[in-house]
């Protein structure tokens, strides 16, 4: 099955930039979506189609996707950005459908 | 604004059937796919399956033999049944709306708050 690999953790100081990678074979050919999940809460879509933001998501959240790696970038990190982040793609192979990444815990120092 | 709410038993005995319902408010079920996704404690997200407003379904291959989904558009509800549960099915179960159908951009927004289901005797 299609596998999306994320680093288990990323640490960043307030005001700095956090970059979270999502690796997958030829992921650049797929649309990648990113979710933020704070403790005890449901995931929230923060970036879709590689780099678009849903209404209400700050411009500090951005994304890119090329080759075998997609990246979620959080600029000017705030304490409230501390959460788990998951990438997700649609696997076009029959009977596979949705795949989530392994998840990355972002810690604000 | 669409809001989703899961409901159902929080405790299920091993080998029995897990049954959950998701109630949608603030919008129609029509012309969307609706999914169930679960998350064991401390672990990642796992897509279980989806149902279209017409009743058409798709399930994760490894769960297909145990999963059934249904929809009741008049009640604005869709449901999940998972048979022969074991401790490995213990998780928070989320329902969600799928966006991007037909465009190739399949994603989930919004999500319900989730419901913890524990499989234990």
% of chain A at pLDDT higher than 90? 92
- pLDDT band for position B49 (cuts 50, 70, 90): very high
Contacts of A32 (CB under 8 A, 6+ apart): A22, A47, A49, A50, A63, A65, A70, A87, A88, A89
Is residue B109 within 8 angstroms of chain A, CB to CB? Answer: yes
Is residue A6 within 8 angstroms of chain B, CB to CB? Answer: no
A90/B104 CB distance under 8 A = yes
Task: Kindly give the pairing relationship between strand B91-99 and strand B115-119.
Answer: antiparallel
Burial A25-49 (b: 16+ CB within 10 A, else e): eebeebbbbbbbbeeeebbbbbbbb
pLDDT digits (tens, 9 = 90+) for A2-29: 999 999 999 999 999 999 999 999 999 9
The encoded tokens of residue B62 equal: 């490894």
Mutation to test the A interface, candidates B38, B44, B96, most A Cβ within 10 Å: B44
Residue with tokens 């005001």: A15
User: Three-class SS of residue B27?
Assistant: coil
pLDDT digits (tens, 9 = 90+) for A55-94: 999 999 999 999 999 999 999 999 999 999 999 999 877 7
pLDDT at B32: 93
Residue B59 has pLDDT above 90, yes or no: yes
User: What phi and psi, each to the nearest 5 degrees, are found at residue B89?
Assistant: -90, 0
Looking at residues B111-115, what average pLDDT do you find? Answer: 98
Looking at residues B36-64, what average pLDDT do you find? Answer: 95
Residue B100 has pLDDT above 90, yes or no: no
Q: Give the CA count within 13 Å in the CB-facing half-sphere of A46.
A: 24
C-beta separation of B118 from B9 below 8 A:
no
More confident position, A95 or B30: B30
pLDDT at A92: 76
Looking at the complex, report in whole angstroms how far the Cα of residue B61 sits from the nearest Cα belonging to chain A.
6
The encoded tokens of residue A22 equal: 């999502």
């Amino acid at each position: 099955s299609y596998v999306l690999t994320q680093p288990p953790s990323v640490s960043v100081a307030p005001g700095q930039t956090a970059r979270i990678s999502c690796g997958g074979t030829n992921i650049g050919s797929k649309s990648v979506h990113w979710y933020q999940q704070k403790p005890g809460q449901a995931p929230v879509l923060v970036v879709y189609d590689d780099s678009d933001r849903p209404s209400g998501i700050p411009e500090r959240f951005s994304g890119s996707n090329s080759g075998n790696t997609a990246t979620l970038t959080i600029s000017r990190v705030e304490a409230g950005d501390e959460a788990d982040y998951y990438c997700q793609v649609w696997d076009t192979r029959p009977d596979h459908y949705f795949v989530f990444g392994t998840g990355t815990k972002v810690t604000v120092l | 604004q669409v809001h989703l709410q899961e409901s159902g038993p929080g405790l299920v005995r091993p080998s029995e059937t897990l049954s959950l319902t998701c109630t949608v408010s603030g919008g129609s079920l029509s012309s969307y796919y609706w999914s169930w996704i679960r998350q064991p404690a401390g672990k990642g997200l796992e897509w279980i399956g989806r149902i279209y407003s017409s009743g058409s379904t798709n399930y994760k291959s490894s769960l297909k033999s145990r999963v059934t989904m249904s929809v009741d558009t008049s009640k604005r509800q869709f449901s999940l049944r998972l048979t022969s549960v074991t401790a490995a099915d213990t998780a928070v179960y989320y329902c969600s709306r799928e966006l991007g159908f037909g465009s190739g951009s399949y994603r989930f927004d919004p999500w319900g708050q989730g419901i913890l289901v524990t499989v234990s005797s």
